[in-house]
C-alpha cells in the first residue's frame, strides 16, 4: 500500500500570550510525542481562563494531522 | 445546595487592534456588569468590518462563564 | 428595487505571521477582484501548515460580504 | 475603552398571525426590558403549536443584539 | 405506562403563497394521515423553486410532533 | 459531458416588508447577475436590523442554485 | 401585546451525584434568580471533572426557558 | 436482496423519574408499534418541563433503529 | 389543497459491495414499503463494519423523499 | 503580497454512474469556468434522484478550492 | 515551555446500568491506559442496544481530557 | 469491569482509485497500528486533490472504532 495515511490527534495548546502561541505550544507537544510527521493543524475551539477580570490563559483545541504511513 | 452553579453570558467584544484585544474588551464589560465572578470564556465566532479594503474592526462573539452560586 | 443586496464570497487568506494578517490578505484579494464593495468578513475556519515542528502558515477560511445592489 | 460591546439575549417571540409578527413581539419585549439599545436580531429557530389540525401559534427563537458599552 | 410518548414525522409542505401557508399545508397532511394527535411543529429548512426569475414555490421542511401514547 | 452541473451562489436579500420579499429581492439580483439559469433557493439564515424598537429590515441569507452546464 | 414571550437563560448546574441532580441544581438557581417563571429546560452539554480516576462532578449546560411577558 | 435494511423512527419518551426511564418508555412505544425489530437507540436531545421550580418531566428525543428487511 | 406534500423517511441501506449499492438497497426497501412515490434521497452518514481488518459492510443512512399528497 | 490566496466555489456535479463520476463532472466544470487553478475539493453533501424505484442520478455538492493569488 | 498541554481521547464507555456508570467505565479505561492524568470528560453522544424491547446497554461516547505536558 | 470499552481513532485514508478504496486503506493502517480490534468505521469527510483538472486523490477522514477493554 503506497497511498499515504494520516492520523488526527486532538490536542489543547495553552498560552498566556496569544492564540498563535497556544497553537505553537500544542503543535510542539505533538512533535515531541513522536507519533509521526506533523503536517497541518485545524483549530477546533478557542477558549480560556479569566483572572482579575482579564483573559489570563488562551486554550486552543487543535486537531494535528500526522503522516503515519 | 453547595454544588456550584454558573451562568453563560453571550457578549461581543470589539477591537480595532486584534482578536485577543476584542476578547479582553468583551470580558471587561461582563466584569463591569457585575453579574458574578467571571471564570472563563469560549469564542463562538470571529467576524469584523472592512473599511478601505482592510479589516477595520474585529468582532468576537464570546460566551463568558460566571460563577453565580 | 431599492433594498440592498449582498453576496458572500468564500476565500482563504494565508500568512506566515498571524491570524489577523491572513484575514487582511484574504480581504485584500476580494477587494482586488472588484466584485463590489467589501463590507464585512466572517471567519469560518482557522488552520495551517506545520514545518520543522512549528506552525509555518496560517490559513483562514473567510466569508467576505460585498454590496452588489 | 471606547470599542463598543454588545450582548446577545435569547428570546422567544410568539404570534398567532405570522413569523414576522412573532419576531416583532420578541424584539419589543427586549426593548421593554431595558437592557440596552436593541440593534439587530438573528432567527435561531421557528416552531409552533398546532390546534384543530392547523398551526395556531408561531414561536420564533431569536437572539437580539443590544449595545451595552 | 402512563408517561406520554410522541413521534416526530418529517414532512415537506409547499405553497406558492408564503412560508406560513407551506407550514399549514404540511401540518394538514400529517393530520389527514391519522398517525396521532398533531401537537407542534419545528421548521427544519426553508427552500423553494425559482421560475421566471422569481420564487415560485416555498418548500418548508418540518418535523411534526404527534402524541402516540 | 452531458450530466448537468449547478453552482450555488450565496446572497443576502433584504426587505423592509417581509421574509418572502427579501427572498425575492435576493433571487432577482442573482438573475440580473446573469451567471446562469436560477433554479432553486435555500434559506441559510434570517436576521435583520432593529430601529425604534421594531424590526426595520429583514436580511435573508440564501444559496441560489444556478444551472451552469 | 397579549402573545406570550419567553427568555432562554444558559446555566451550568453541577452535582457530585447524577446528571438529573445537576439539572435540578441549575434549574433551582434560575428560580432563585427571579427572572420570571421557569417553564422548561433543554440540555446543551454534559461534561464533568475527573478525580482519582473517577467522575467526581457532573456539569450540565442547560438552557432554561422563563416566561417573561 | 439479502443485505439488511433498517429504518430510524424519531420518538420522544418521557418520564417523571430519570433520563434512563424516559429512554425505556420511548423504546417500549416503538416495540408496541410493531414496525420491525427494535435494535438500537440514539439520544438526540434531553429536555423537560419545570414545575414548582423543579424538573417535573424528562423528555428524551430518540432515534430508534428497527430492522425492516 | 393542490400544493404537493412530501415525507422524508430515514433508512439505512447496507451492502458488502459499495456505497452506491447500499444506497440502492435502502431506496428499494422504501419503494417496497409502499408509503408513496419515492422521488429523491439524501445521504446523512456513511459508516460500516470491519471484519478481518477490512471494511466488510457499508451502511448508508439516507433520507428518502416520498410524494404523499 | 506574496502569501497565496484561494477561493472556494460551491458546485453540484451530477452523474448517472457513481459518486466519483459526479465529483469529476463538478470539478471539470470549475476548470472550464477558468476562475483559477483548481487545487482540491471537499464533498458537502451526496444526494440524488430516484426513478423507477432506483437511484437514477447522483448529485454531489462540492466546494472546489482554486488558487487565485 | 511551561504552558500546560492536554490531549483529548475519544472513548466509548458502556454499561447495562446507567448513563453515569457508562461514563465511569469509559473514564476508568483511559486511566488504565496510562496516557496521562485524566482531568475532565465531555459527553459526545448517548446511544445503546435494545434487547427484548428494552434498553439493554448504554453506550456513551466521551472525550476525556488528559494532561500530557 | 466486564462492560466493553471502545476507542475511536481519527484517520485519513487516501486512494487514487475510489472512496471505498480510501476507506480500506485507512482501516488497514489502524489494524497495522495494533491498538485493538477494529470493529467499525464512520466517514467524517470526503475530500481530495485535483491535478490536471481531475480528481487525482480521494481523502476520506474516518473514525475507526477499536475494542480496547
**Which residue of C18, C29, C38 to mutate against J (max J Cβ within 10 Å)?**
C29
Mutate to test the interface with C, among A10, A19, A44 (most CBs of C within 10 A): A19
pLDDT at B38 > cutoff 60? yes
Cβ proximity of K13 and L5 under 8 Å: yes
Partners of G15 on chain B (C-beta within 8 Å) are: 3
How many whole angstroms separate alpha carbon E13 and alpha carbon E36?
Answer: 18
Residues of F in contact with E55 (CB under 8 A): 20, 23-24, 27, 41
Chain L contact residues (CB < 8 Å to J): 18-19, 45-50, 53-55, 58
Q: What is the pLDDT of residue L34?
A: 81
Question: Which parts of chain F have pLDDT scores under 50?
Answer: 1
Would strands E37-51 and F5-15 be described as parallel, antiparallel, or unpaired? unpaired
Q: In this predicted model, what pLDDT tens digit does every residue of K29-39 receive, in sequence order?
A: 999 988 889 99
Chain A residue nearest residue L22, CA to CA: A3
Provide the shortest C-alpha distance from residue L31 to chain A (in Å).
Answer: 12
Q: Closest by alpha carbon to B67, among B11, B14, B7?
A: B7
**Closest Cα in chain L, distance from residue I58 (Å):** 9
pLDDT-wise least confident of B31-35, F27-31, I49-53? B31-35
Q: Indicate whether L26 belongs to any domain.
A: yes
Per the structure block, which three cell numbers stand in for J48? 440524488
Residues facing E66 on adjacent strands: E7, E38
| Closest CA–CA distance from residue A36 to any residue of chain K (Å) | 16
- The residue in chain H having the minimum alpha-carbon distance to the alpha carbon of residue I21 is H3
Query: Is chain F touching chain C, with at least 3 CB–CB pairs below 8 Å?
Result: yes
The Cα–Cα gap between A45 and A60 comes to: 6
First to last CA, chain G: 9
Neighbours of H12 (CB within 10 A): 24
Task: Return the bridge partners of L9, or none.
Answer: L64
Q: What is the pLDDT of residue K33?
A: 86
Q: Region B28-53: what's the mean pLDDT?
A: 94
d(CA I49, CA K38): 30
Is the pLDDT reported for residue D1 higher than 60?
A: no
* A contacts of K65 (beta carbons < 8 Å): 12
At residue H31's C-alpha, the angle toward residues H26 and H32, to 5°, is 95
Measured between CB atoms, which of D10, D16, D61 is closest to G3?
D16
Q: What is the pLDDT of residue I15?
A: 98
What integer pLDDT is reported at residue D34 of this predicted model?
82
Contact H58 G20 (CB under 8 A): yes
Confidence of residue K56 (pLDDT cuts 50, 70, 90): very high
Cell of A56: 489570563
> Is J1 domain-assigned?
no
Determine how many CB atoms are found less than 10 A away from the CB of residue G56: 13
CA distance L17 to chain J (A): 9
Read off the CATH number of the domain in which L34 is found. Answer: 3.30.1660.10
pLDDT of A1 > 60? The answer is: no
Inter-chain contact B16–D1, Cβ cutoff 8 Å? no
Inter-chain touch D24–F50, beta carbons under 8 Å: no
Looking at the domain assignment, is residue I10 inside a domain?
A: yes
Residue written as grid cell 452535582: G15
Q: Is the pLDDT of residue L1 over 90?
A: no
Q: Which chains have 3+ CB pairs within 8 A of E?
A: D, F, H, I
Separation between Cα atoms, residue H40 and residue E18, nearest integer Å? 39
Q: Using an 8 Å CB-CB cutoff, list chain C residues near B47.
A: 40-43
3-state SS class at L53:
coil
pLDDT bin (cut points 50, 70, 90) of residue J5 is very high
Q: Is residue J55 packed enough to be buried (19+ CB in 10 Å), middle (13-18) or exposed (0-12)?
A: buried
Return all residues near C50 (Cβ < 8 A) that are at least 6 apart.
Answer: A27, A31, A38, A39, A40, A41, A64, C56
Q: Which is higher by pLDDT, D63 or J33?
A: D63
Number of structural domains (chain L) is 1
Give the nearest partner residue to E41 out of D18, D19, D55, using CB atoms. Answer: D55
| Beta-bridge partner residues of L43 | L62
pLDDT digit string, tens, across residues J9-61:
999 999 999 999 999 999 999 999 888 899 999 999 999 999 999 999 999 99
Cβ pair E64, I5 in contact under 8 A? no
CB atoms < 10 A from the CB of B34, how many? 8
What is the rounded CA–CA span in Å between residue D13 and residue G8?
11
Cβ E68–H33 below 8 Å, yes or no? Answer: yes
Residues of C in contact with F8 (CB under 8 A): none
Is K3 part of any domain? no
Mean pLDDT confidence for D26-35: 91
In this prediction, residue I55 has a pLDDT band, given cuts at 50, 70 and 90, of very high
Task: Convert A32-44 to b/e letters by CB count within 10 Å (16 or more is b).
Answer: ebeebebebbbbe
Residue C1 covered by a domain: no
Average pLDDT over residues L44-55: 97
SS3 I34: coil
Q: Is residue G12 part of a domain?
A: yes
Cell digits of residue C5: 443586496
Model pLDDT, residue E36: 84
How far is CA C57 from its chain centroid?
Answer: 15
Amino acid G36: pLDDT: 84
DSSP H1-68: --S-EEEEEEEEEEESS-HHHHHHHHHHHHHHHTSSEEEEEEEEEEEEEEETTEEEEEEEEEEEEEE-
Average pLDDT for I27-37: 90
Mean pLDDT of chain G: 95
Our answer on whether I and F touch (3+ beta-carbon pairs < 8 Å) is no
pLDDT of residue D55: 98
CB-closest option in A5, A10, A63 to L13: A5
CB-CB neighbours of L42 under 10 Å: 16
Cβ within 8 Å, pair B16-D10? no
CA dist., res. I6 & res. I40, Å (int)? 10
pLDDT value of residue A34: 81
DSSP string for residues in B8-53: EEEEEEEESS-HHHHHHHHHHHHHHHTSSEEEEEEEEEEEEEEETT
Q: What is the mean pLDDT of residues B37-62?
A: 97
- DSSP for residue F3: S
* E-to-F residue pairs, Cβ atoms closer than 8 angstroms: 36
Query: Of D14-28, G1-15, K4-18, which gets the smallest average pLDDT?
Result: G1-15
Cell of I7: 415525507
- From first to last of its 69 residues, what are the pLDDT tens digits of chain C? 489 999 999 999 999 999 999 999 999 999 988 888 999 999 999 999 999 999 999 999 999 999 998
Contact J41, J65 (CB under 8 A): yes
Provide the grid cell at H48: 423537560
What is the spatial distance between Cα J22 and Cα D33, in angstroms, rounded to a whole number? 53
Handedness of CA F37, F41, F47, F50 (dihedral sign): positive
Per-residue pLDDT of chain H (69 residues; tens, 9 = 90+): 489 999 999 999 999 999 999 999 999 999 988 888 999 999 999 999 999 999 999 999 999 999 998
Q: Which residues of G touch B4 (CB under 8 A)?
A: 14
Q: What is the pLDDT of residues E17-58, one digit of tens each?
A: 999 999 999 999 999 888 889 999 999 999 999 999 999 999
Q: Is residue D1 part of a domain?
A: no
Per-residue pLDDT for A47 more than 70? yes
ipTM topping 0.90: yes
Helical spans, DSSP H, in chain G: 19-33
Nearest to B46 among C31, C43, C64 (CB): C43
- Whether residue G1 lies inside any domain: the answer is no
* Cβ pair I9:H7 closer than 8 A: yes
Which domain, by its residues, includes H31?
A: 6-67
**C-alpha cell at position D28:** 419589543
Closest CA to I60 of I14, I28, I8: I14
pLDDT tens-digit profile of L16-26? 999 999 999 99
Alpha carbon of I30: minimum distance to chain L alpha carbons (Å): 24
Chain K hits for G46, Cβ within 8 Å? 42-43
How far apart are the two ends of chain I, measured CA to CA in Å? 9
Residue J8 — left, alpha, or beta (φ > 0 → left; ψ -120 to 50 → alpha)? beta
A48-58: average pLDDT? 97
Amino acid at each position: 500500500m503506497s497511498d499515504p495515511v494520516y492520523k488526527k490527534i486532538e490536542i489543547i495548546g495553552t498560552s498566556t500570550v496569544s492564540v498563535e502561541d497556544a497553537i505553537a505550544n500544542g503543535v510542539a507537544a505533538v512533535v515531541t510525542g513522536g507519533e509521526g510527521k506533523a503536517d497541518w493543524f485545524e483549530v477546533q475551539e478557542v477558549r480560556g481562563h479569566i483572572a482579575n477580570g482579564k483573559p489570563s490563559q488562551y486554550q486552543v483545541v487543535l486537531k494535528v494531522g500526522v503522516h503515519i504511513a
